[in-house]
Structure 1
Amino acid sequence: MKSRSLHKRILPLTITMSTLPAAALAADGAAEITGAAATYVANNTWMLVATFLVFIMHLGFASLEAGLTRAKNTVNILFKNTAIIAIGLLTYAAMGFNLMYPGDFSISGFFGFSGFGIGVSPENMMIAGDDGVGIYTYWTDFIFQAMFAATAATIVSGAVAERIKLHSFLIFSTVYVALIYPWVGSWKWGGGWLDAMGFYDFAGSTLVHSVGGWAALAGVLVLGPRLGKYAGNKIKPIMGHSMPLAAIGVFLLWLGWFGFNGGSVLSADPAAVSFVFVTTSLAAAAGIMGAIFLSWILQKKPDLSMALNGALAGLVGITAGADVVSVMSSIVIGFIAGLLVVVSVMGIDRIKIDDPVGALSVHLVCGIWGTLAVGLFSSDHSFLTQIVGVVAYAVPCFFSALAIFYILKKTLGIRVDEEEEMGGLDVGEHGMAAYADFEIKSAI
């Protein structure tokens, strides 16, 4: 199977008779797409479909975050998620793509940059494998990778919800997505030093989810908890306003994950893609059951929010090794992720770190677990190397995010005032409400 660290051959792509294999020419001289040409078309088409699926995940994130937070902050949640996809695409086009995939413009596999913009005449290029057969176009390569770029900032959005200043969050997202995400991503997917070491992360348990999770942890620590969350030294649950919206978000995310993981095969190889679909789905299902099992025991009642986060936990957990672990191993990985997310949500709340949607537990904790699971369940990958990779991403991601948030706190400020937080960010930041004739029933 191919990986994102594949050393791509960039070949001229001109749609003429001469570019097709000889076997693709019919007797009457007309071009007939067969053989290598058909494979190229199938690969490119599947990669574009996978791109569509990853794109729909942003609607899933928006729905989940809105559902698990209070109605008075819904417009703010939706606005942030709308802005993030725009920021991710534009910064990735401006510099992120060439920072993440620097090619020969790299210093010891640690830092590289091949220039601003998407590339030189990308419309005339195709990505080919070592055998010279086209995999997909340069445009397809860019847009698929670009859809991942905004996800890291989306993870942060949920963790800092309901109390962060909009402009400060958008500035943070721009800097983090433009610079930090593609830089550290190049260490593995860009053929950098971690890739050379043998570190493995198929679709981003660490490179996407933990990268976002470390930033989310930094943001939550700098911001502090929401008003009333830990009043009187007690934990006060602050319930989300729409569990149906949260459930819709999770199922949209699950759907999108078929593109997230399935597209990371980087071809339409039937066996490879279908296998990844199976391991991805079984891990999600096992995550649900693990979360239901443990939360029902601990809380004495079945908790829908835990079940929903259990699905995401399983999905994040399998993302690093969806193509290299066995089917039965994917079930074990997902089930353990479901247990971990319950323990983590409760534990993080107990130490008074306020995460409204459980983003730290799902993306950071289960992202780490999924990355380490590759070393435990795949004989081809070293557990020690996986640990090195986890630590290598933890340090720059957490401390760079901490620095960005701290600078914003000391300059523009990052937290809304108490009156605005009590009244809701929809009115305070946007001057509108998500629901017509909405009336706030509680100050908290």
Structure 2
Amino acid sequence: MPDFSGAIQNFFGKGFSWGWLACVPLAIVVVLGWGLAAHAQDEPLTAEDVQTVLDNIWILVAAILVIFMNAGFGMLETGFCRQKNAVNILAKNLIVFALATLAFWAIGFSFLAAPSGGWIGLGGFFLSGTPETYALEEGVGLTVPVFFLFQAAFAGTAATIVSGAVAERIKFMDFLIFSLLLTGIAYPISASWTWNGDGWLGALGFSDFAGSTIVHSVGGWAALMGAAFLGPRIGKYQDGQVNAIPGHNMSIAMLGCLILWIGWFGFNPGSELAASTAVPYIAVTTNLAAAGGAVAATATAWVLSGKPDLSMIINGVLAGLVAITAGCDGVSYLGAVVIGLIGGVLVVFAVGFFDSIKIDDPVGAISVHLVNGIWGTLAVGLFNMESGLFYGGGFGQLGVQILGILSYGLFTVVMSSIFWIVLKSTLGIRVTPEEEMKGLDIAEHGMEAYSGFLKDASDMGSVS
């Protein structure tokens, strides 16, 4: 039989790799598609047409980056928790985006983007509206599918924040139901107040560019109420002491943090909603704040405990990212660093504060997202180069920012409390003590994340 492989190697040279042949069909498809598109075009593309295409491609890429953040949340939360609950946490983080997508498609996107009269959008349910239904201009700027996908990714993030704070003791079904209610109803209604053209807070001048409050604080408030209604894990607080319950895999926690850091370059620059020259500027302010948060949290924890704590380095990065999210488009580079530095300090003290009031948050989600979401929103009123107090803008912007923080906080606390109370009084939101001690992987899912590995028998607490 002829040696075709050897002949091809001789023809292309010794450096030829068979992997490159896989690119040939793709290249043919691209060339043919390009030719057909050009042939179908009756008139040459205008600059406006090209800009529209670029805008949609960029926001599609940004949406994919934000969706990939679900992997980061999953890795981070799993690593920070015990191995006996790893499957449960991974399952929650995977299914929550599927649920968020469907709930947001059915009603949430309409609540957020359709004409609202200032409070809640109505019309175009199940993604059935035209561009005008969602305040998009026909043929210019973002298309409806791209705009929906980007907003759905944000909705999923709000629900994922809750997952970490209620980890290791919540019933799987109850978390799923809460996620549907949060992403389908509570989050999109409140988001419309600013991000809908008719929103009442946006009309007052409230500024939250990419969602320090609208996404992160909303998720943080919902997480806080969930952790409060659930109560702490067995053994977390005993005899007036706070007992550390270490995570089982800091390697994947660090990987999760890095995935989230990278994903934030879709989260913040993507919120420009266009392929403009502002995108790289926003990316730089985002990165500077993350770096500032990491350094400040590391130094603060080192001073307080005498050791550089990896978990605080991780949460410091995230604190800086959350804090800069509201103002990343309008602060200076120095302002971004300062915002990140303060966020890094805040997250360390916030973790201690919530432990002092016996709010058990296994991953520090409330300290990262709620506390620094509030800080980042306030920072707009201080550091924005056009309207901030430190730049001669007076107290006007700061006052509106405070109003927005209070409004979102009150609405989310009330709505999430209603959801949690109803679930607690009907299905019961917490697993039994026996199930908690056994681990939710076996109790809820009937499987192990690390089958065949020796289990750690040193889990704290006892069934009482």
Please give the TM-score of this superposition, normalised by the length of structure 1. 0.90
Provide closer, same or farther for how the CA distance between residues 227 and 33 of structure 1 changes in structure 2, counting only shifts above 3 A: same
- Tell me by how many angstroms 1:120 deviates: 3.4
Match for 1:313: what amino acid? A
- Tell me by how many angstroms 1:96 deviates: 0.6
Question: Runs of at least 4 residues of structure 1 off by over 3 A?
Answer: 28-34, 120-128
Q: Deviations over 1:328-368 (max 9, x none)?
A: 10000000000000010111112211100000000000000
Give identity over the alignment, percent: 51
Matches within 5 A, 1:238-387: 238-269=245-276, 271-378=277-384, 379-380=386-387, 382-387=397-402
Provide closer, same or farther for how the CA distance between residues 122 and 302 of structure 1 changes in structure 2, counting only shifts above 3 A: same
Q: Deviations over 1:278-313 (max 9, x none)?
A: 000000000001101111000110000000000000
Corresponding residue for residue 207 of structure 2: 200
- Tell me by how many angstroms 1:34 deviates: 4.6
Match of 2:447 among 423, 427, 432: 432
Q: Distance in 2 between matches of 1:115 and 1:285?
A: 41
Corresponding residue for residue 457 of structure 2: 441
Match for 1:256: what amino acid? G
Query: As a proportion of its length, which structure holds more helix?
Result: 2
Alpha-carbon contact 1:218-1:399 (below 8 Å) kept: no
Q: Deviations over 1:38-80 (max 9, x none)?
A: 1111111111110110011000000000000000000000110
Task: Establish whether residue 120 from structure 1 lines up as the match of residue 129 from structure 2.
Answer: yes
Corresponding residue for residue 56 of structure 2: 44
Match of 1:235 among 209, 231, 242: 242
- Tell me by how many angstroms 1:415 deviates: 0.5
Q: Deviations over 1:57-107 (max 9, x none)?
A: 00000000000000000000011011100011001110111100122xx23
Alpha-carbon contact 2:113-2:135 (below 8 Å) kept: no
Provide closer, same or farther for how the CA distance between residues 274 and 316 of structure 1 changes in structure 2, counting only shifts above 3 A: same
Structure 1 stretches lacking a partner, 5+ long: 1-24
Moved more, 151-160 or 346-355: 346-355
Match for 1:111: what amino acid? I
Q: Distance in 1 between matches of 2:135 and 2:376?
A: 33
Alpha-carbon contact 2:323-2:376 (below 8 Å) kept: yes
Alpha-carbon contact 1:126-1:135 (below 8 Å) kept: no
Instruction: Tell me the number of residue pairs that the alignment of Structure 1 and Structure 2 aligns.
Output: 413
Match for 1:321: what amino acid? G
Q: Distance in 1 between matches of 2:281 and 2:130?
A: 35
Structure 2 stretches lacking a partner, 5+ long: 1-37, 389-396
Report the aligned-residue RMSD: 2.1
Provide closer, same or farther for how the CA distance between residues 29 and 124 of structure 1 changes in structure 2, counting only shifts above 3 A: farther
Match of 2:224 among 195, 211, 217: 217
Please give the TM-score of this superposition, normalised by the length of structure 2. 0.86
Q: Distance in 2 between matches of 1:414 and 1:221?
A: 12
Provide closer, same or farther for how the CA distance between residues 362 and 29 of structure 1 changes in structure 2, counting only shifts above 3 A: closer
Alpha-carbon contact 1:73-1:425 (below 8 Å) kept: yes
Provide closer, same or farther for how the CA distance between residues 41 and 299 of structure 1 changes in structure 2, counting only shifts above 3 A: same
Which is higher, the Rg of structure 1 or of structure 2? 2
Matches within 5 A, 1:414-425: 414-425=429-440
Task: Establish whether residue 165 from structure 1 lines up as the match of residue 171 from structure 2.
Answer: yes
Match for 1:211: what amino acid? V
Match for 2:207: what amino acid? Y
Provide closer, same or farther for how the CA distance between residues 198 and 208 of structure 1 changes in structure 2, counting only shifts above 3 A: same
Q: Distance in 1 between matches of 2:59 and 2:315?
A: 28
Alpha-carbon contact 2:124-2:133 (below 8 Å) kept: no
Q: Distance in 1 between matches of 2:41 and 2:322?
A: 50
Match for 1:264: what amino acid? S
Alpha-carbon contact 2:114-2:135 (below 8 Å) kept: no
Structure 2 SS opposite 1:226: coil
Corresponding residue for residue 11 of structure 1: none
Corresponding residue for residue 85 of structure 2: 73
Q: Distance in 1 between matches of 2:342 and 2:349?
A: 11
Match for 1:395: what amino acid? L
Q: Deviations over 1:197-251 (max 9, x none)?
A: 0000000000000000000010011000000001222110000001010000010
Structure 1 SS opposite 2:142: strand
Q: Deviations over 1:121-149 (max 9, x none)?
A: 67999943xxx872121111111111111
Q: Distance in 1 between matches of 2:124 and 2:418?
A: 26
Q: Distance in 2 between matches of 1:82 and 1:92?
A: 16
